[in-house]
Every structure is written in structure tokens, then in C-alpha cells.
Structure 1
Amino acid sequence: MDALMLAKDVVLVELVKVIPDDVKNLEESEVRLIAYTTAVVLVLTWLWSFLNHKKSLWQRLKDFSFGFLRSLPIVNGYVKSELDKILTDLTKEDAFRTHKGEVFTTRLPASGLGRKQVVSRATEMDELLGGADWKKGRCSGTVYFNSEELSETLCEVYSKFAWSNPLHADVFPSIRKMEGEVVQMVVEMFHGPENACGAMTSGGTESILMACRAYRQIGYERGIAVPEIVAPFSAHAAFDKACEYFHMKLVHVALDEQSRQVDIRAMRKAITSSTVLLVGSAPQFPHGVIDDIEAIAALGRQYSVGVHVDACLGGFLIPFMEEAGFPLPLFDFRVTGVTSISADTHKYGFAPKGSSVILYASHDLRHRQYFVAPDWQGGIYASPSIAGSRAGGIIAACWAAMMFMGQDGYVTSTKKIVTTARYMKESLSDVPGIFIYGDPNVSVIALGSNDFDIYRLGAALGKRGWNLNTLQFPASIHICCTLRHTDGGVGEAFVTDVKECTAEIMKSPRAKSTGSAAIYGMAQSIPDRSLVKEIAWGFLDTCLNAKH
């Protein structure tokens, strides 16, 4: 009420300043009525904005509280010194460690180097800096194929189209045709209806961004000022990025503690008149679990809301699992209500990095991801995705990978990968000290512990050459199986190392973590998430600094 009275007084004063003399003859009661009405409108507008903010009231209160504390010099100085220590520790990790004989190039060579010199320098750099031994299957995900013949084929095809650009379809019609064929092949894989269509993107993140942009446009057309996306906590962070980029609101819903699937009842409760999209993963990244797509699609039909299936990770496994002997519940366009699907060709599709596909159930929906500037002086500008110019060589190499593998090739690779993943899951399901999250049935196995800091296991496996993914909320680590893990003895070696490292840790389960494990555990416990952002900024700065 105080805010209303203050707004009324301010409006009254300003009205007196600007109204013409003949209007000043109005009765005081009439002027007050105008002032009260204007003040009420202002207050209601502010209240609407306050209640419909992208962040919850609790989150805004926390942000304000932490921001106030950070403004205090003594607190800010302490926080800065601690952040500096963390970033210093990060630069000691293998990825940033300086090697003897390492040379940093910070300006162009005075004269260009010849081909042999360039190749030699690149080879020397690779050998000097090293990295995780991904060729021996020691990395989680990262590199998904294990065929030198495929690698040579893709490089040869890429070299023929390295300078092509689908932005100029009239100059490079072959690239236009290849992109169209890639999209249509993926549409068929996911049982798209007659009008199903799609586009290629630079990766899963861009595919998700494009889908969210399309649904945002639908929201705008319905008069929704801030369209909302309802997604599981396990949904990929690209949905967070999309909401930040496109002025949308992401409503996270809880997972079932046992299955790690999205809680359908919680999703139903989260739907509002501003909801434009429901999200399910097939499978989700953290724990490798497939959400109940049929139940999510039923909600989409009931509330006339779009449903996106994020199959970026497993998009070139799940369509082939039934033929490979691993049937799954329906997850694609065969489920009425599914309106879009994202699938990465550069993962289990074995295409080069920088390629993905976004699919839509109709051309009308795809139109809403397009950008068109009809009045630009340079001509009518139209692009299907975020990028203008795109790498035609990547499109050609993606097409080549799919043609090289064929249906039988993908079925064979799926059978190998899923068989290895299920061997790992069964072998680790009863190891004392650790447990497996949910019931993963594709290629990812996530491990947790109620007895010790699970990040210690990740660090111990790191010392044995393994490079795993570190997860949070809850603390866990996971391995994403690829064809590299299906090579003789790799899966067995992983199981053996996990068992041996766990047994060693269980001798002193309460011991403190050190190194990167301690940093990650600490970051998870920080209540002010803006500090974690600053740590991430520092990490990215270090990655982009040639001198580290």
C-alpha cells in the first residue's frame, strides 16, 4: 500500500507540471482519479513483471543477499583471494601444464611456412602436449569411432568440399543435396510423418537452440511475453542457454529418485498457460536413462504444448536398438504428440565434430527457426540456423559417414556398444561402496557412493589413465561407452580398475579429496552459484590463453 501511495503522489506532481492551463481547471477529485488510475496501472505492471520474472522469488532473494555480501570490501577481498587460489590450482592440471621445449606463437610468422613445416609443427605440438589416450578407449565419450578406414574416407571427402558453403546453394548444389539427404535419412530413422523435415546444425547445442527458438515464436504468436519450457533437471544445459539467449523461462522439474526419469506428476503441475514446450531425453546425459516419452507426449496432447525429444547423445543408437536385439519403449515420431527431435551425427553417427540434425513434425514448425531479413541492402538474407556461412566440408563428411556405415553398420556398432555398456552395468552393480544411478539401458553408466566422495574414485581412475565425466547434484561420475570401449579387453579393464580403486578407497572412506576432485566437490557445495560462474569464466579464460 505504501508503494501505491508513493506512486500516486509522484504521478500527481508530474501531472501538475505537464498538463495545460485549461486542464488545470479540472476538479481536484478528477485529477486525483487520474493519478490513482495511473498509479494503479504502474503498480500492477510492476507486480506482473515481478511475478513473471524468469527467476523464482527465492532465487532473486538469494542473488540479492549474496550480491550485498559481495559488495562488502572485506568479504569481496576474501572471496577474490580464494577464487585466485582455485584458478591457480586449475592451471596446474595436465591440460594447462607447461612442457619443456614448448613454444608459444603469439603473432603471425613474418613469412608463411610451407606445407611440410606446418604439418611438422602440428605433429610436434600433438606429440609434446599429449593428453588422454583416447585411441586406447580410455575416455568417456569424446571420440566415438574406431575405424581408420572411416577416418581416411571422411578426410578424403572433406578435402573435396573444404571450401564449400551451403549459404551459396547456387554455387554448391552438391552440398545442398547432401544436406537434404542427411536430414531425410534421419527423418526416416525416427519414423517421421509425411511432412516431417529438419536441418543440419553445428552440434547438439545448436539443434536444441533452434528448436527452442521455434517454440518461442509460437509463444509470441499466442501473445505470451515470456514463453516457458518445462524440462527435467537432467535435461541438457543447452536448454538453459536457449532460455538465456531467447528470453524464455526454463522450469526445471524433479526426477524420480529411483528411476532417474522425469517425474511426470511434477511435470504436469509445472505446466502453465505460458508453457510452449515439454522436454524429454532419450537418453539423458548424466545417468543414461530414457525419460518416459509416451507419458510426456500425452501431456503435450492434453495441454496443446510442443514436445521435444533430446536424442542428441543416443540419436544414432536408439533407432537401431530393436534390430540389434535391445527393444525400447517408443521414443520418436511414432508417439503422437512428439513434435521435434534432436540427434547428433557427430557422436554415434561417427561424423566429424560439428554436425547434428534437428527434426520437426511439420514444415510450419521448421519455418519458425528460420531467420529472414527481407529489407537488407545486401539482398534478401535468409538462413536456416544461427550460422550464416556454414562448413560444407563437414556436411559432406557427415553424409559420407552415413553412406559408409549404412543400416547394417549402425546396427552392428549399436550391438557392440550396448552389449559392452550392459556388461559394465552388470559387473559393477554389486561392488561394495558404489551404486549405479537408475537403470541405464543405452550407453552411459553413472556411479555414485554413499560411503565416500565419489570424486575420489574419478581421480583414482584418472591416475590409471581413464578420463571420465564428473557430474553434480547428486555427486557422481559416468562413463559413456563408444566403439573404442568395445575393443578387446577395454571394457574388462575398466571394470577391474573400478573394483580395485573402490576397494582401496574403502580402506579410508572418510579421507579428504585432493586436486581437481576437491575443487569439484567444493564447487558443488557453494550456495552462491555466481561464484561458480566466476570459476568457470577463469577456466575458459585459461583455455583461450595461448600461454597456458
Structure 2
Amino acid sequence: MTPGVPADQVLDELRTLRAGDLPTHGGRTLAYVYDSGLSGVDDLAATAHAMATATNGLDPTAFPSLLRMENEVVGAAVRLLGGGPSTVGTVTSGGTESCLLAVQTARDARPDLSRPRMVLAETAHAAFRKAAHYFGVEAVTVPVDPATFRADPDAMAAAIDDSTVLVVVSAPSYAHGVVDPVAAVAAAAAERGVRCHVDACIGGWLLPYFRRLGVAVPEFDLSVPGVTSLSVDLHKYAYCPKGTSVLLHASAELRRPQLFASAQWPGYTMLNSTLQSTRSGGPLAAAWAVLRHIGDAGYARLAERTLAAVAALRSGIEALDGVRVLGEPVASLLAVAGTDELDVFTVADEMTARRWYLQPQFGFGASPANLHLTVTAANHGTEPELLADLAAAVAAARAAGPVRLAPELLDAIAALDPDALTPAQFAALLSAAGLDGVTAPKRMAEVNAMLAAASPRLRERLLVEFLGAMYTPDQV
């Protein structure tokens, strides 16, 4: 038998592993992570998490502390996001689970429909397409305005039919940081007796404070007539640890199909409010502690710092020759596209070399390839350095010129059938991309150019194969 490893050695190994990750603090990773820049918040969250990590949210009667904390967290979201006395909510593991549950609940509220449908603006988060895949709901995708990237209310209304169970709008959309015309779309949905969900996962804890600071934020929350549910992630701009989101429903009646019970087996009667059964109370306790500690006044100050950073970065980017901001973002997300023949994927590589992470986004519909920036409070004060490095990265990318794939490689990509892709074809593409197995190279521009040349369906299949190859157990 293999002996255990001393605790100190295990932690040393973990520190070594973590050294290769993107930084989670300091504002240099402009995707995936959210940094308040406040001292002590991480320690508070970690301590609260540890105090509740062994508890189980499966049974609130066994752990009443979790029930109380969840109701208080949901209550804070209700007050911030236009809820009323009838509003109810659930703490979930993240935005995707909140979105999945919104779709599942809308579907199960209409058991009379054999082929339910939901109407999505094409900028709706991919989590809703995941929900469509999981729950057998047809996703009807509606193009957005090609200049503003906001949903078209008339087109959304026209897409609603007798089989529609849900209409989805974003506040804001992840790709471009714009807020859809929620009021008009929700009114159209209500007129047809259809639920309307607002995906405010990334903006829900920030936009109300932006409005207090004078930003012209369109109405988007539960106070808007016709909005029946809303999701907001606490591990984003509430700056809580990963693993907490809130799904709000306008009433308990609307939420009821989300709740699951099963007594048809000899064990305990299963009763769940989320997709999970057993769930540690650690993330909930951490979120509860951070919300109470920062408080409304603290979030207002963090929003002010974030808004200042967004304004400085947007102004600096728009003054930089060769790049432009897409749409009219009102939140904290910026999508930066290149002009002329500037290769934004090369810009991303150059920024990585300068210790910044900007997330590449492939072209889709009217949206060209671009770089995504999630701006947080921690970016306030670092704007001059980021803009200087971006200017240098743009200059380097312009000097290098665009990535040009060989015609025969483009032909090979075009000839691939996503539904019939073989392991040999996948291996050949890896080799053509200069990849040794599934270890990503330090520079990704050529790989991204290859993926951009693939159709969205083929890109999905290639990345699924890549993901499956990455998650292969170590052989010891």
C-alpha cells in the first residue's frame, strides 16, 4: 500500500502547481476571476467557508444555519434587484446552474407541450444552449442589432409562438457588455403568457450601483412588468468566492416546478431545490459573510472604482489606433476588436507575454473576432499600465501581420465533418497546429486562427475532443 503524504509536503506541492495558474488578484486576469482589491475579504471568506464546509445543504432541517443564511442572502438580492413581498429565490452553485434551473422550471410549468421552445437573442449566454441540450427544449435564436448588439424586441416578439415556454434577455450580455431592451421584450412575452428570464449573472450586483452613480442603465430587474425570473452571481461583482449564484422568481408559484421530491424508493424522501442534492454549506457561508462584511455602502464604493476603471480603459482604447470597442457597453465588460488587418489573437499573445490575460472571442454573426475584458474594482489604478502594454501589443501585432493559414490547411479544415471526425483527423489537426499532445503552446494566435476558420459546429467538436484528451487520468 502507498503511504500517505505529510500535510506540509502536500501543501508545498499545491503551491507549486498553483504557480503555473493565471493570477487571481491584482487585476491582470481580465476574465474568469473577480477581485475587489479589498484586504481581509479572502481571509474572512476562507474562515467562514471552513466553518460550514462539513455541513450539508441537502436537509435544511438538519442544518438550520444554512437555511437562515440562504434566506438572508436571497433577501439581499431581492432588495437590490427590484423584488417584492412575493419574490422567492434559491442559492445555486453558479450562473450556469441558475440558467439551467430557469429553463427547467419554465419547461416543467408546461407539461402539456411535447416540444417546448425558448426564444434567445443570439448573444444569450451559452449556458442556455446547454440547458436546451440537457432538457430537450428547442432554442430559437434571434439575431441582434448588428451595430449595438442588443436584442431586437420586435424580432424577439415575432419568434414567440404557442410552444414557447421562456424568453431570455441579458443584463448585460457577456460578449459585449450591453443591456438588452428588457422592458419591451418582457412586455411582449407577458402578452403571450410566456415567462421572461433576465440573465443578470454578471451585471446584477453592479448595475444598480452604476445607476446610482448616474449611468443610464436601462430597466432590467424584477420591477419590470413581465420579468418572471432573474439570475445574479455572487462570485462575480459581489466578490464572493466561487460557487454561489442566486436565482430569483417573482413568486413561489412560478418557482414551484423547480423543486423536486421523490418518495418512490425505500430510503429517505429526496427533496431538492437545486440540481444538486448534497452540497457543502461552505460556499453559502462564505458568500453570506462577504455580503454582510462589505455591505451596501462598500459595494457602492467598489462600483465607483470599477466605473472609473471602465471609463479610463474605454477612453484609452478608443484613442488607440487599430482597435475599437464594440457596441455601447453600459456595464463593466469591454469587447475590443481590431481594425484593418490587425490580428487580435496576436494582440492577446502579446498581452500574455506582458503578464495580462485578455480573453479571445471568435467572430459570430455581426460580431467580429475580439478580446474580452472583464473590468473589476482591482483594475482601478492599473489603467495606465494596461493601456501602455496594450499599445505596445497592438504595435507588435501590426508589425507581425495577420496570421495566414496555408490554403491546403484551410481546405482540410473545410472538408472536416463535425459528426464524423476521427481520432486520426483530430491528431492531424493537433500536429498542424504545432501542439504536442494537448499541451497548449505559449502563443495561441495560430491555433485560434485555425479554430476561427472552422464552423461553430466543427469548433465545438474539436474543442470537445481537446477537452476529453486533457481530462485523462495520470497513470502511476
Give the TM-score range, shorter chain: 0.7 to 0.9
**2:181 aligned residue:** 292
Task: After TM superposition, list the pairs within 5 Å mapping 1:8-157 onto structure 2.
Answer: 110-127=2-19, 130-145=20-35, 146-157=37-48
Q: Which residue identity does 2:10 align to in structure 1?
A: V
Query: Counterpart in 2 of 1:454?
Result: 344
CA contact (8 A) 1:141 1:482 kept: no
Q: Distance in 2 between matches of 1:324 and 1:414?
A: 9
Letter in 2 for 1:189: L
Matched residue of 1:194: which SS? coil
Structure with greater Cα Rg? 1
Please name the residue that 1:278 is paired with.
Answer: 167
Contact 2:198 2:221 in 1 (8 A): yes
- Cα distance in 1 for residues equivalent to 2:403 and 2:353: 17
Structure 1 contact 133–465 (Cα < 8 Å) conserved:
no
The amino acid of 2:320's aligned partner reads V
Give the conservation status (yes or no) of the 8 Å contact 1:282–1:291: yes
Q: In structure 1, give the amino acid aligned to 2:445.
A: A
Match of 2:376 in 1: 482
**Alignment gaps of 5+ in structure 2:** 406-432, 434-442
- TM-score normalised per structure 2: 0.87
* 1:31-57 superposed Cα distances (whole Å, 9 cap, x missing partner): xxxxxxxxxxxxxxxxxxxxxxxxxxx
Instruction: Determine which of 164, 168, 175 is the counterpart of 2:59.
Output: 168
Confirm or deny: 8 A CA contact 1:190 1:332 kept in the other structure: yes
For 2:257 and 2:280, the matched residues in 1 are separated by: 23
Contact 2:31 2:372 in 1 (8 A): no
Asked whether the 8 Å contact 2:119–2:166 carries over to 1, the reply is yes
Residue-pair matches, total: 434
In the alignment, which residue of structure 2 is the partner of 1:465? 355
1:236 aligned to which of 125, 137, 140: 125
Letter in 2 for 1:506: R
2:215 aligns to what? 326
1:400 alignment partner, one of 256, 277, 289: 289
* C-alpha contact 1:306 1:337 (8 A) present in aligned 2: yes
Structure 2 counterpart of 1:197, from 88, 101, 105? 88
Where structure 1 has 5 or more consecutive residues not aligned to the other structure, the ranges are 1-108
Q: CA deviation at 1:242?
A: 0.4
**Offset at 1:326?**
2.5
For 1:349-498, list aligned pairs within 5 A.
349-452=238-341, 453-472=343-362, 473=364, 474-486=368-380, 488=381, 490-498=382-390
2:360–2:370: 8 Å Cα contact kept in structure 1? yes
AA partner of residue 465 (structure 1): R
Q: What is the distance in 2 between the residues matched to 1:528 and 1:323? A: 40
Q: Which residue of 2 aligns with 1:187?
A: 78
Does the aligned pair in 2 maintain the 1:199–1:359 contact within 8 Å?
yes
The reply on whether 1:214 has 2:108 as its aligned counterpart is no
With over 3 angstroms needed to count, the CA separation of the structure-2 counterparts of 1:389 and 1:547, relative to structure 1, is same
User: Within 2, Cα distance between the matches of 1:504 and 1:470?
Assistant: 17
Tell me how far 1:209 sits from its aligned partner.
0.3
CA offsets per residue over residues 371-430 of structure 1, 9 Å max, x none?
111322113211001100011011111100100110001111111112211211122113
Q: Answer whether contact 2:57 2:277 (CA < 8 A) is retained.
A: no
| 1:139 alignment partner AA | T
Indicate conservation of the 8 Å contact 1:243/1:250, yes or no. Answer: yes
Q: Deviations over 1:77-117 (max 9, x none)?
A: xxxxxxxxxxxxxxxxxxxxxxxxxxxxxxxx822234333
Question: Once the 2 structures are TM-superposed, how far is the Cα of residue 279 of structure 1 from its aligned partner?
Answer: 0.8
Q: Distance in 1 between matches of 2:346 and 2:154?
A: 35
State the alpha-carbon separation in 2 of the partners of residues 118 and 212 from structure 1. Answer: 41
Q: In the TM superposition, what is the alpha-carbon distance from 1:439 to its structure 2 partner?
A: 0.8
Deviation at residue 431 of structure 1 after TM alignment: 2.3
Distance 1:303 1:408 in 2: 40
Shift of 1:546: 4.3
AA paired with 2:347?
L
SS of equivalent to 2:25: helix
Shift of 1:207: 0.2
Contact 1:434 1:448 (C-alpha < 8 Å) held by counterparts: yes
Q: Counterparts of 1:354 and 1:531 in 2: how far apart (Å)?
A: 28
1:253 aligns with 2:142: yes
* Paired residues of 2:202 and 2:233 also in contact (CA < 8 A): yes
Residue number among 499, 519, 538 corresponding to 2:391 in the alignment: 499
Q: Per-residue deviation at 1:350? A: 1.2
Match of 1:339 in 2: 228
Distance verdict in 2 for CA 1:505–1:401, change over 3 Å: same
Letter in 1 for 2:64: P
- Give 1:547 deviation, angstroms: 7.2
CA contact (8 A) 2:358 2:371 kept: yes
Per the alignment, residue 34 of structure 1 pairs with none
Give the C-alpha shift of residue 302 in structure 1. 1.9
More off after superposition, 454-463 vs 305-314: 454-463
Q: Distance in 2 between matches of 1:310 and 1:531?
A: 25
Is it true that 1:512 corresponds to 2:404 in the alignment?
Answer: yes
Distance in 1 between the 2:49 and 2:210 partners? 30
Letter in 2 for 1:463: A
Shift of 1:295: 1.3
CA deviation after TM superposition for structure 1 residue 528, in Å? 7.2
Task: Provide the residue aligned with 1:536 in structure 2.
Answer: 464
Contact 1:526 1:532 (C-alpha < 8 Å) held by counterparts: no
State the SS of the aligned residue for 1:283. Answer: coil
Helix, strand or coil at the partner of 2:90: strand
Alpha-carbon distance in 2 for matches of 1:293, 1:527 = 31
TM score, norm. by length of structure 1: 0.76
The Cα offsets for residues 492-511 of structure 1, whole Å up to 9 and x where unpaired, read as 11112222222333345445
Residues in 2 aligned to 1:537 and 1:401: alpha-carbon distance in whole angstroms = 39
Percent identity of paired positions between Structure 1 and Structure 2: 31
Q: Residues 179 and 218 of structure 2 are in contact (CA less than 8 Å); yes or no, is this contact kept in structure 1? A: no
Q: CA deviation at 1:144?
A: 1.3
**1:494–1:196 Cα change, 3 Å:** same
